[in-house]
Amino acid sequence: MPLNLKRIPSALFLLGSIFLVAVILSLSNSYRKWVVVLPDLPSKISVSGMQTAGSLYILRQTHEPLFRLIDGQNYSSTILSKWHRSIDYTEYMFCLSSGVQFDLSHKFTPELFTAYLRDTTNIFDRSSTVRRIENCVFVKFAKPRKSYLSYLTMYQHAPTCSVSEDVEEGLGDFRVTRKTASEATLMRKKSVWRGYNTIEIKPYISPDNPALQDRNISDFNKIPVDGIPEWVKQKYPHTTIASLNSLLLLINHPDKTVRDEVYNCMDTDMLRTAFAPKKKTPFWVIQNILPLGVAGAKAGKPIQHCRGRLPLHAPLIFADLLSDNEDSMRKMLLDFSLRTGVPVTLRTIKAAEFLSSLSRQTKGYNLAIISSDVDEIDSHPYLDYFSWFDFDLPIARNLYSQLKQEEDRNRAEELVRRIAREFEREKVVLPIYQGVREIYYPPEVKNIVVGLTFSEFQRVGDLRW
């Protein structure tokens, strides 16, 4: 068949059009953003400051622990080329992959890798010895340490590098490129196709904020439920989960008699309603500081016996981390004071100011409601409340030290129960409830799987459409 030269320009035009469309689609995908609304932005992004949902959310994107627990029992690593442990759990070998870096200016060299493992492992077990041969590090313990790999999955133990006064970079997919007091931008270190290469963090102000109507927002899952717009509920796929966190009332007063009065006479139903007056979602009542799903947790209301009035001259200071519940909280606290004779002064405080008080010997508050946003099934992080109080809890602290060294599962669970009972006996933490909420994600995301390894703090770098 002879070649028809008249058709060549049309064919070239068609090929050029297809190529242009492909380029446009490629650029569109490479600049696609994941926009998230967070109730708080930490003043410093650091693995040592993971007390809030905002800090944990960001660290999920910027940092990568040495291991990930894949299906509840198997470990994998994006940092290591190979690893091995002895049958008796006393010796471990970790070999660093080539080219691992925090950014172009900060490489994760074998020397830094060795120093990281030496420092991190020494916190875990002071009897450990660490040595390096080329790019492999060998760790040896005096006794079997089965929980060592689990310890290395925690984000507070992830490799980190300080790049500025208020930002640490990790080995995760993203790095912080812009940060203000209320907003931040994270950029993917290596762009990918059909994935998000930019994360923009916006502040949550109130349910009535018009900015929540922005149709480009991807993630509303860390703000109060009443702040989620109706268009999200109608458009986004969703599932119901029980959050691995508890809402707790901290009782920070050195006088055990005062703590007894607050613990036993504070109506948890009234407190829950006053603290979150617009909350209409279901919840679970819990009897101790552990959320259901974590070993040692107990369902049901805490045991309370309010015996009468305890007149105090100096009012207790209630630090309220929310700004839209002042009327309901004042009314509830007035009722509490009339019933018990314990005066309480409400003080609204920002999360950053509240967290900065933890480093002071005197915290400046007696009562505060916190959420244990940990997102781990291990019990240890849910029991470490010792820095929240002005006074020491020697029995609980000693049991916690034993727990960190215990390798037998049954004995560890018994220690967890004893620590929870000790917190209850000391009346320092009153459980209020465990959250149950709908989780929403954009319909274009195709690889969200709700199961054993599902996390409320989603790694955006893993998402694809």
Q: Give the chain's domains with CATH numbers.
A: 32-40+166-237+441-462 (3.40.190), 66-153 (3.90.76.10), 241-437 (3.10.105.10)
Angle of CA points 375, 376, 381, to nearest 5°: 100
Give one DSSP letter per residue of 83-138, joined into a string. EEE-TTSSEEEEEEPTT-EEETTEE--HHHHHHHHHHHHHHH-TT-EEEEETTEEE
Nearest to 201, CA basis, from 229, 224, 176, 226: 176
Higher pLDDT, 342 or 323: 342
Q: What is the DSSP string of 279-322?
A: --S-EE-BSSSSPTTSTT--BSPPP---------SSPEEEEE--
Q: Kindly tell me the sign of the dihedral angle through the C-alpha atoms of 31, 36, 40, 42.
A: negative
400, 384 Cβ separation under 8 angstroms: yes
DSSP summary character for residue 358: G
The whole-angstrom separation of Cα 424 and Cα 260 is 10
Rounded mean pLDDT, 140-159: 92
pLDDT at 365 over 80: yes
pLDDT digits (tens, 9 = 90+) for 306-332: 987 777 778 999 999 887 889 999 999
Looking at residue 208, its pLDDT comes to 80
Q: Residue 46 in contact with residue 33, Cβ under 8 Å?
A: no
Give the CA distances from residue 56 to residues 159, 222, 322, 382, 430, in Å, rounded to whole numbers and listed in that order. Answer: 15, 11, 19, 15, 24
pLDDT at 31: 58
Cα within 13 Å of Cα(384), Cβ side: 13
What pLDDT was estimated at residue 271?
Answer: 93
Q: Look at residue 437 in the predicted model and tell me its pLDDT.
A: 82
pTM of the model: 0.79
pLDDT score, position 21 = 45
Kindly provide the b/e burial profile for residues 356-392, where b requires at least 16 CB atoms within 10 angstroms of the residue's own CB: eeeeeeebebbbbbbbbbbbbbbbbebbebeebbeee
* In contact, 202 and 183? CB cutoff 8 Å: yes
Judged by DSSP in three states, 340 sits in helix
- Is the pLDDT at 22 greater than 50? The verdict is no
User: Is there a contact between 50 and 44 (Cβ–Cβ < 8 Å)?
Assistant: no
> Tokens 């994360």 identify what position?
199
Q: How many residues does the chain have?
A: 465
CA 28 to the chain's CA centroid: 31
Report percent pLDDT > 90 for the chain: 43
Q: For the chain, give the longest Cα–Cα distance.
A: 106
> What is the spatial distance between Cα 268 and Cα 434, in angstroms, rounded to a whole number?
12
